[in-house]
Amino acid sequence: MAYKACLKVHCKCPRHPRFNPEHGRGGVKAGCAVCDALCDLEAAMRTARLRAADAEQAAAVQVKLLEEGRRRKLSAACVA
């Protein structure tokens, strides 16, 4: 079971095109609603990336456990 999660969004505030939401809300000028929304989007994407990483890790563990179970069955069949 292999999959790859890909999430990319390119957004800029028309009034503050140099604002980078990765730097946090401290850079939001004059309470700009667009920059604030970009910060919300950045936080949501960060959460999605973490969840995707967790899912990939869980899938890798599941594959490892399945392979381990197969090996045990094979070695038990060889002994019997």
Task: Return residues touching Zn ion (CB under 5 A).
Answer: 13, 15-16, 32, 34-35
Least Å distance, CB 24 to Zn ion, is 14
Q: Quick one: 2 or 30, whose CB is closer to Zn ion?
A: 30
Are 28 and 19 in contact, with CB atoms under 8 Å apart?
yes
| Residue at token pair 């038990």 | 76
Q: Quick one: 27 or 56, whose CB is closer to Zn ion?
A: 27
Least Å distance, CB 41 to Zn ion, is 13
Structure tokens at 14: 């028309």
Q: Quick one: 13 or 39, whose CB is closer to Zn ion?
A: 13
Least Å distance, CB 30 to Zn ion, is 8
CA–CA distance, 44 with 47 (Å, rounded to integer): 5
Closest to 41 measured CA to CA, from 7, 18, 14, 17 = 7
